Amino acid sequence: MLALGADEAVDRTAVPFEGAIAPVDLVFDTVDGDVLVRSAAVLREGGRLVSVAEGARASTGIGPADGLPRTFTAGRALASPGGYAPGIAREVTDDAQPDAAAEEAQTSGAWAKVIGDSLVSGRANFSAQALAEATRRVHGVGARIAVHVVGLREVAEAAIEAGVDSIEHGLPLEPDHLAAMASRGIVWVPTMTVYADREQARQSLTKLGVSPAGVAAVLASIDRQPALVAQAVGVGMRVLAGTDAGMGPHGRIRGEVGLLVAAGLTPQQALGAASWEARSFLGLPGIQEGAPADLVAFAEDPLGDPEVLARPLLRVLDGRVIPAAMVASVS
């Protein structure tokens, strides 16, 4: 592999490779089994896992056939040149963005994702007109569009006006945006887990080169986000649980449920945001006759204490019991 141009070789039989490899864009699996399952933990945001192992299913994504959760991917996220972390997004110009969004949506078969702005650059990646046209084109091919918004109010407003399907992070959202989002059916995924450690967030922003004034503005947005999340639910918005996995560790969704409860959601609302409400939004059935058997069972009721989510007794995916050891390898 080194002769073919690989930067590093890791002996998977000698060390746990998922702890030795930085997040990557593509995993090309030839082994299957436990190696395939553990490989999901090294994918970065927008990454793809492809298996050509004998007996593995076609390389159309990952899911229950691989012993992993059902996934809906958006292909490469779209940003303007220099508008996001290097090497992650597909960089396109404003004029090319609608075509690229439709192309990524068709490749995914479900979603396109647009990086609306960047804390580092402090600018919008695309014009409101390009975002509106991209939304129209994505919806035209029967897919949905998500927009990453972290710093600029005008980007949030452009996304709302365009009628996108979800806003991720949404730090610049204000109370006056919520009713418009609710009326348009736009979902908010606040990803509060990413900012749960305020000091770590401050240090990370500083390392990224965000100015002191910019850091202070982001921290102020983080501080008011929980109250805004509660207001959003109060006006009828659908708020879903997310963790920004790929940019951080996988397996933190239970922490997001706890943060939603702390923000003022009822345990029923918070747990639904990570399970049945999210499934409904993605077009998946709940517990009903003929639905896939996707279940997690607990000895105690997690509605009484979100920490119970850390102690599942049984996991069933598409009718298959998932061994605890397999889950631990990707958590």
pLDDT given at position 302: 94
* Mean pLDDT, residues 206-219 taken together: 90
Q: What is the pLDDT of residues 146-193, one digit of tens each?
A: 999 999 999 999 999 999 999 999 999 999 999 999 999 999 999 999
pLDDT given at position 59: 34
Q: Which residue has the higher pLDDT, 2 or 284?
A: 284
For residues 209 and 69, give the distance between their C-alpha atoms in angstroms, rounded to a whole number: 36
Q: Which residue has the higher pLDDT, 39 or 99?
A: 99
- Average pLDDT over the chain, rounded to an integer: 86
Checking if the pLDDT of 37 tops 80, the result is: no
Give residue 124's pLDDT band: very low, low, confident or very high (50, 70, 90): very high
Domain ranges of the chain: 17-66, 78-281, 295-329
DSSP secondary structure letters along 245-302 = BTTB-S--HHHHHHHHHHHT--HHHHHHHTTHHHHHHTT---S-TTS---EEEESS-T
Burial class (CB in 10 A: 0-12, 13-18, 19+), 172: buried
For residues 328 and 320, give the distance between their C-alpha atoms in angstroms, rounded to a whole number: 17
Instruction: Give the DSSP H/E element, type plus range, for residue 169.
Output: strand 166-169
* Mean pLDDT, residues 272-293 taken together: 92
Assign a CATH topology to domain 78-281: TIM Barrel (3.20.20)
What does the DSSP 8-state code read for residue 195? G
Checking if the pLDDT of 61 tops 90, the result is: no
* Mean pLDDT, residues 248-265 taken together: 90
Give residue 36's pLDDT band: very low, low, confident or very high (50, 70, 90): low
* Mean pLDDT, residues 236-260 taken together: 89
> Which stretch of 28-37, 100-109, 114-123, 198-207 has the lowest confidence by average pLDDT?
28-37
Checking if the pLDDT of 54 tops 50, the result is: no
pLDDT given at position 53: 52
pLDDT given at position 34: 63
Checking if the pLDDT of 227 tops 80, the result is: yes
pLDDT given at position 2: 63
pLDDT given at position 329: 47
Q: Which residue has the higher pLDDT, 19 or 237?
A: 237
Residue for token digits 């790929």?
A: 246
Quote the pTM value: 0.81
* Mean pLDDT, residues 247-267 taken together: 90
Q: Is 51 helix (H, G, I), strand (E, B) or coil?
A: strand
Burial class (CB in 10 A: 0-12, 13-18, 19+), 109: middle
Give residue 87's pLDDT band: very low, low, confident or very high (50, 70, 90): confident
**Residues 143 and 112 sit within 8 Å (Cβ to Cβ):** yes
**Residues 3 and 9 sit within 8 Å (Cβ to Cβ):** no
Beta-bridged to residue 90, according to DSSP, are 78
Q: What is the pLDDT of residues 4-13, one digit of tens each?
A: 567 777 777 7
Checking if the pLDDT of 263 tops 60, the result is: yes
pLDDT given at position 21: 75
